[in-house]
Chains A and B, each alone.
Chain A
Amino acid sequence: MCFCSSATRGFVWSDIVKHRHKLWGALLLLAGLHVVVLFAGFFAPYGSSTQDRNLPFAPPTGLHFVDASGKFRARPFVYGLKDDPQALGSFAVDSTQVYPVHFFVQGSSYKVGGVLPSRLHLFGVSAPGRIFILGSDAYGRDQFTRFLYGGQISLAAGLIAAALSVLLGVVIGGLAGFYGGWIDDLLMRGGELFLALPWLYLLFAVRAALPLHIAQWQVFLLLIVVIGLVGWARPARLIRGVVLSAKERNFVVAARAFGASDVYLLRRHVLPQTYGVVLTQMALLVPQYVLAEVTLTFLGLGVGEPMPSWGSLLASLQQYYVLSSYWWMFLPALLLIPVFLAYYMAADALQERLKTVPL
């Protein structure tokens, strides 16, 4: 996790895959991931806080097509769980209890986009069967459901914070580059200060100054703002560079000769040239900020229970018995990899695209 070297974070897969396809592939993957997370209520079989105290730390439920008697069934099914007589505290598959998997079922209610109530879920099994694709945690909560809902929180945090950082970067870098002089000096020195501090300690420090006992959504909001505020310096520097070269372009000079105001020049000619850098920075910052939120929550300093951030999903791994006995608790962490991969691929493809666009 590194705030440095955003310029060299690119991949070298260009020899393998054409960059045009890479951009579309990455964007498609990203879109898919975000859609699934956005409609978590639909894709998840259970509600985000549904517990089943009878099934703590249940292993991931396997899908079967052939039952115990060797018969093939077109509709997949899952087995029930019973206490394992050999290993105390864990579960074994009970092949006598068969629960077919149904699609487009009615389940617990949720709100689409926070507004429209619905009860439709993509798949589910009838009670008392449970379908735990990624297993369950100490309270018997489905990890897959929590992963999807957690994605809403962590991805939202990353996206909003990245947008904030980049916005600040555009404003500050734009002003510094366009006006130059003492404004430029002052802003860039300030940026150097921010770059020189260890970012995690900075986050901690600001988090420490905030009161501990405030509402969860307030914590979330404050967290996002803090993460976003800490990271403006690098985008600002890059955008300043673009603005510096853009304002010397002859068409800007010509427009100035026509009597264009500064606002017009910035809006019409200078800032549009920063869009490429802005997009690339967003693609690079979002995964970093998602990771920042996850880390803070993991350490207990971010959003707390019951908000299912990805960080809180991983927090239980700090306990010895979880780490040694319940391997499926790692799965949410592994699922983070494709998310980051998609973002880095997009950033890389964007950077290559920028180099080839004639400007």
Chain B
Amino acid sequence: MRYLTRRLLHAILLLIVISVFSFALLQWAPGNFFDAMRLNPRVSAQTVNGLRLEHGMNQSLPVRYAHWAYSVLKGDMGFSFSYNTPVASLLWARARNTLFLTTIATLLAWLLAIPLGIWSAANKGTWCDRACAFSTSALLTIPDLLLFLILLLLAVRTGWFPVGGMVSTSFASFDFWSKLKDIAVHFALPALGLAVVTLPVLVRHIRSAMVEALDSPFIRAAHGHGIPRTRLLFRYALPLASNPLISLLGFSVATMLSASVIVEVIMSWPGLGPLMVQAILSRDVYVVVGVVMLSSVFLVAGNLLADVLLFVSDPRIRVE
């Protein structure tokens, strides 16, 4: 229990530091935004000053941070200048799409990686294992960007998959099953791309964790007792290997989030990635800060989830 509280406190501390960082970011930028506004001859100086006062620019930093933090916790994350809507509602819709995509991609990646890793470890040294290692190495040399572009090319050339977006234009008129199929066909390529990009590292880690588990003395003893191989693999070795793997899960959330930005932009998936890019290009500060904070929250939550899973699955952590 102490372990959990410790991890929770750690997560909260991390979020606070990130919020301070985001707030600092906010401080540089609005100045720039208002400067840009000031250059616009159609906006009078009084309006600019009025806006500045409205945003509380004349108060001290800690006070402003407190106000900002409080309003963020209440759910008000500011206003988007380019979309002309409150940031929170904008973020929420996009975040939902990103979460959707990354969750499916994560599931796909792990569903592929676990059997591959286990099988590779169980047949260590055989040509299957070597072929697997070779292909993962080969995949690692291909930059993600290239991979996503190739998938896009596939979509364009074969016409099996739509070239972008999340839904077709006539989505609203579909019935339920067509809607499902439509979404599925749209997320197939992005999810596949994300999964393939994170797959090699996962397989590599799973394999080494399993190899280490299989080499441990008590597994050998169990083998000596005549326990059949599949049971040995799944009931004995896999739980032993699960500790580093669950930590890996928490870690892979970060890579997945970063990679999802690229895939979303390339395949026009309406998630946080394209929003962020647009916001930076149009100097839409509150959106930028909102996305940074939100993605950090996801990351911290993902790691916390991994910690909880670890607590539940590994009795050694509970004893400590």
Interface size on B, residues (CB 8 A): 60
Q: A205-B288, A324-B156 are in contact. Are A333 and B28 (CB under 8 A)?
A: no
Check: A294 CB closer than 8 A to any chain B CB: yes
Q: A204-B292, A205-B25, A341-B141 are in contact. Are A299 and B277 (CB under 8 A)?
A: yes
Contact yes or no, A201 B141, CB < 8 A = no
Contact yes or no, B140 A344, CB < 8 A = yes
Contact yes or no, B280 A301, CB < 8 A = yes
Q: A205-B288, A208-B29, A208-B285 are in contact. Are A1 and B144 (CB under 8 A)?
A: yes
A45 to B257, CA, bound (A): 41
Chain A residues within an 8 Å CB radius of B227: none
Contact yes or no, A204 B288, CB < 8 A = yes
Check: A9 CB closer than 8 A to any chain B CB: yes
Check: A11 CB closer than 8 A to any chain B CB: yes
User: Closest A-chain residue to B262, C-beta based?
Assistant: A295
Chain A residues within an 8 Å CB radius of B285: 208
Chain B residues within an 8 Å CB radius of A212: 281, 283
Residue in contact with A314 in the complex, picked from B149, B208, B255, CB distance below 8 Å: B149
Residue in contact with B296 in the complex, picked from A197, A200, A299, A301, CB distance below 8 Å: A197
Contact yes or no, B141 A323, CB < 8 A = no
Contact yes or no, B281 A197, CB < 8 A = no
Segment at the A interface, from B46-54, B89-97, B196-204, B232-240: B196-204
Q: A209-B25, A333-B146 are in contact. Are A12 and B292 (CB under 8 A)?
A: no
Q: Least Cβ distance of A347 to chain B in Å?
A: 11
Chain A residues within an 8 Å CB radius of B292: 201-202, 204-205
What is the count of residue pairs linking A and B with beta-carbon distances less than 8 angstroms? 146
Check: B142 CB closer than 8 A to any chain A CB: yes
Chain B residues within an 8 Å CB radius of A218: none
Contact yes or no, B303 A314, CB < 8 A = no
Chain A residues within an 8 Å CB radius of B21: 205
Q: List 19 A-B contacts (CB under 8 A).
A: A1-B197, A3-B255, A5-B201, A8-B208, A12-B137, A196-B300, A198-B296, A204-B261, A208-B280, A208-B285, A209-B28, A295-B145, A299-B265, A301-B280, A323-B152, A323-B153, A323-B156, A334-B146, A336-B146
Q: Determine the interface band of chain A, counting residues with CB < 8 A from chain B.
A: 35 or more
Q: Least Cβ distance of B103 to chain A in Å?
A: 16
Contact yes or no, B141 A340, CB < 8 A = yes
Q: Which label, helix, strand, loop or mixed, suits the secondary structure of the B interface? A: helix
Contact with A along B243-275 (1 / 0, CB 8 A): 000000001101101110110011000000000
Check: A39 CB closer than 8 A to any chain B CB: no
Chain B residues within an 8 Å CB radius of A2: 198, 201, 255
Check: B17 CB closer than 8 A to any chain A CB: yes
Check: B130 CB closer than 8 A to any chain A CB: yes
Residue from B28, B141, B157 having most chain A Cβ neighbours under 10 A: B141
Contact yes or no, A324 B265, CB < 8 A = no
Q: A199-B258, A324-B157 are in contact. Are A291 and B208 (CB under 8 A)?
A: no
Contact yes or no, B149 A201, CB < 8 A = no
Q: A5-B204, A8-B208, A209-B25 are in contact. Are A333 and B145 (CB under 8 A)?
A: yes
Chain A residues within an 8 Å CB radius of B276: 201, 204
A202 to B277, CA, bound (A): 13
Chain A residues within an 8 Å CB radius of B29: 208-209
Check: A207 CB closer than 8 A to any chain B CB: yes
Contact yes or no, B205 A5, CB < 8 A = yes
